[in-house]
Structure formats: C-alpha cells, structure tokens
Amino acid sequence: MPDDLFLQSVKNALNDQALQKSNAVVRIPPSDLLEFYLNLDAIKQMLSNMRESVRSERLRGGMDSLLADTLKESLSVARLFKGKSLSFFLGKFSIPSDDDVDPVSMDSLVDMLKYVAGCVSLTRKFSIKWPYEFVEKVDETKAILVAIIEKARAKTPSIPQLIERLDCH
C-alpha cells in the first residue's frame, strides 16, 4: 500500500465517530502479533543506534519522540500476551497459540495505526537519507499491520468503520 494512501486512510479512520464509540475487538493471529512486536523491537534498536549520529536537533527530537512511541507500543503489544512473558516465546522460538493472546480492542488497534503512521511520516518528513534497513523495517511493519487488518476484516464483518476506511486494496 502506498504511503500516501496509508496515511490518508489512517487519518480518515481516526476521524470516524463510530470508531470513537466502538467496543469491538479483533483477534490478531499470534504469529502476526509476534512479528509486529519483533519489528517494533528492531525499529527501537535502529533508532537508538542512529540517534547519536544525527546533528539536526529537529530530527533528533522527532527520533526521540518516535523512540518513546516505540517503547510505549512495544509494552502495549507485550501486554497482549496473557499469562506468559513474551520472553517465554522468544526464548523457546515458539509461536504462541490463540489462547496465549488477548483480543485487541479498537483503541489498541488505533494506537497501532497511529504508531505506524508516525513512523511513515517521520521517514518522509525529513530529507536526510535514512538507512535502507530502517525504511525497509518501517515498510515491513506497515505491511504486517495492513495484513492484520485484512485478516480481521475477513473474519469480523461487524468491525466498525476503521476497517472499512482503511482501504488496503
């Protein structure tokens, strides 16, 4: 999905009143959620490593903000793995089952969208040449989230406008 379409779709979804009042939940496949988390971790590491070499205070501020958002989003995703620490799955190289993962509320899904949109915006906003690996990781994270939403749309037609408005086709 092109960045412009993704950002506009997220903006449209966030302005949706039905979404603001929704109590719907989405079941995210555990393997997708784990993959999303691992991408967040990679983005966090890359931002930490790049930050020191950046001279622009404005860009450094944007990176610091995105790093804080990444940490917050990582914690939110980690909390979805109920009863077991995320390190349990990572240490055993095993995929959690559906029973190991809580359903995701619309609020949490919106937070995931906001986070990915923030990553996409930051990589586009500044004219510096981002390392290819970072841009690739942001694109991969966006693709994972779009795939999660596509799967949710197929399984739960009653999901409110957020899913309808995020035109993933």
Q: What is the DSSP string of 99-126?
A: GGBPPEEHHHHHHHHHHHHHHHHHHHHS
**Separation between Cα atoms, residue 40 and residue 81, nearest integer Å:** 15
* pLDDT digits 0-9 by tens, 75-102: 898 888 876 666 666 666 667 777 778 8
- How many other C-beta atoms lie within 10 A of the C-beta of residue 10? 22
pTM (2 d.p.): 0.81
* pLDDT digits 0-9 by tens, 13-69: 777 766 666 777 888 888 898 899 999 999 999 999 888 887 778 888 888 999 999
**Separation between Cα atoms, residue 137 and residue 144, nearest integer Å:** 10
